[in-house]
Structure 1
């Protein structure tokens, strides 16, 4: 196991380099640059920027250099912990990224816990009690959850929280706690707001995993080893939890590799509707304004999350599933 983990960690280095190259190519693909976008925005308001000013800005931000020079300057700064400077926000990218990514990752982890805590028991119950009323209810919930758009569910929950619960919605904090230091009162205010985005982001994943868990567990329940354990007199609950569930739970563990980057990139519409201070809206604005260093930092960190999540899922699968062994 230790050799496998070391090998995977070392293999992440060239993978990250490849991701950084692809990321830089992607943010360079649109025509023009931040300065030309700034000039176009000024022209829309009736102002005209002189060419000398545009050339000065390009020289200041290094936009006039070749793509190769820009890439090595960017990746060299990242190795030293410097993600560059945001053209639009006039701030170091690291400040903007860590503020948004911290909140985004927190919401993503809470959503993942919500998905697992609901999908696992409901999926097991649905499989064990096949074709029961509960199974049909879970199936109906799964179809509705996968068919309902996230933004529509967000609007419905906002209406419910405002009209029936008298709660302020939008954002992750009430106005008086936005810039306040962390305390029990601020934590409680955060929890009273975060349940809406957690439910909205987790509904589709929960519905899908319920169906996956039900299908996998139904396959396992009919296998000979389950019948043999039942014949030995193993109690039904212990039998199900100890043997078939441990095998059928693999899809839950494997989701760690993609669920975090998916939640971070997929919460864009939800964050816009709910006015959340997360990474999605800032990434969209950076791409629209061609703020290359800010957009590149978000895309690179999302790729890194894929690698880290995949490593974690492989390790957890080896711990939980006795069939998986590493030389």
Structure 2
């Protein structure tokens, strides 16, 4: 198994390089880079002040070539593309994610600042989804074909079909606007630091209820149906009939024998879902509820062509994703010792 792990770690290097290379090449052909945006903002500002005097009019004629070269050097565009790519790789090898063009902060610091919001949404969504999906999937498998199974399947599929942001808008209008039961924006109240610890927890849960409900409603559908189908597949196997013939109780057969074997597809997806809860930001939900998280950071960095943030977050999240995929594969051995990596 260790040789398999070593090979997978080596394969991560070309995979990571390929992702970064493709993204870097695409970025070179995207119009409206940081230099162009800087010049457009400068011209717009000078244009608004043209009526105020001759100096503004003179500046509106264009940017001095020397100043233009300084701006290119500031953003690193005075060097050829291949040289900038190798320089970026050298930074990433030292786990230096670079410096944001427009926010004057290291990319790692920006991620650290936005992480609590995305973690709050992701972890609550992850915990509630698994806490509801797995027991519901077991109940549906045990009662397969019954009215309970049909009704819950209909509810789960309808919930899965409703987009999270549409549900968020409905919840915001009804419970935040008309009934005013929940706040309309933010993760905590403005006076949160002045509250006691108990009041802080209540205030935080009060603010996070609607965003989490918007994300969780459709997220447990796949896990529920996966749990149900995995259990049904195991229940029909020969060893279940043998266990029942030996006189074992239905409860013992289900939880000791069937459930462990049915856990394989569930547990193998658990690491990816757990890590994704930390680093996955929902742009629409964060924008809708005015939550400044990783989703909003990624969107703004793409719109503003803040390339260090784009490449830095891509490098970090791709690396985490590759490692998580390896851990998911190793979970096969932990759940089922019969699996061999030969």
Match of 1:115 in 2: 129
For structure 1, the 5+ residue unaligned runs are none
Structure 2 residue aligned with 1:148, among 154, 162, 166? Answer: 162
Moved more, 263-272 or 26-35: 263-272
1:301-325: per-residue Cα shift (whole Å, max 9, x none)?
2212321221222232321234323
**CA-atom RMSD in angstroms:** 2.8
Change (3 A) 1:63 1:213: same
What CA distance in whole angstroms lies between the structure 2 residues aligned with 1:21 and 1:37?
A: 24
Matching of residue 207 in structure 1 with residue 227 in structure 2: no
Which sections of structure 2, spanning at least 5 residues, go unmatched?
49-59
CA distance in 2, matches of 1:317, 1:104: 29
Superposed displacement of residue 161, structure 1: 4.0
| Residue 292 (1) aligns with residue 307 (2) | yes
Q: Contact 2:182–2:210 at 8 Å: present in 1 too?
A: no
1:67 to 81, 89, 96: 81
Equivalent residue for 2:16? 16
Q: What is the CA-CA distance between 1:76 and the residue it aligns to?
A: 1.7
Match of 2:252 among 238, 256, 265: 238
Residue number in structure 2 paired with 1:82:
96
SS in 2 for 1:275: coil
Larger Rg: 2
Residues 278, 24 of structure 1: alpha-carbon distance in 2 compared, 3 angstrom cutoff? same
Residues in 1 aligned to 2:20 and 2:223: alpha-carbon distance in whole angstroms:
32
- Contact 2:118–2:280 (8 Å) recurs in 1: no
Q: Does 1:272 align with 2:283?
A: no
Moved more, 163-172 or 286-295: 163-172
Q: Equivalent residue for 1:91?
A: 105
Shift of 1:172: 1.8
Q: Structure 1-normalised TM-score?
A: 0.87
When the two structures are aligned, how many residues end up with a matched partner?
326
Structure 2 CA distance for partners of 1:51 and 1:257, relative to 1, 3 Å: farther
For normalisation by structure 2, the TM-score amounts to 0.84
**Counterpart contact for 1:264–1:280, Cα < 8 Å:** no
Rounded to whole Å, the distance in 2 between the matches of 1:153 and 1:206 is 15
Change (3 A) 1:309 1:99: same
1:225 pairs with one of 231, 239, 250:
239
State which drifts further: 125-134 or 17-26. 17-26
SS at match of 1:85: coil
1:172 to 164, 177, 187: 187
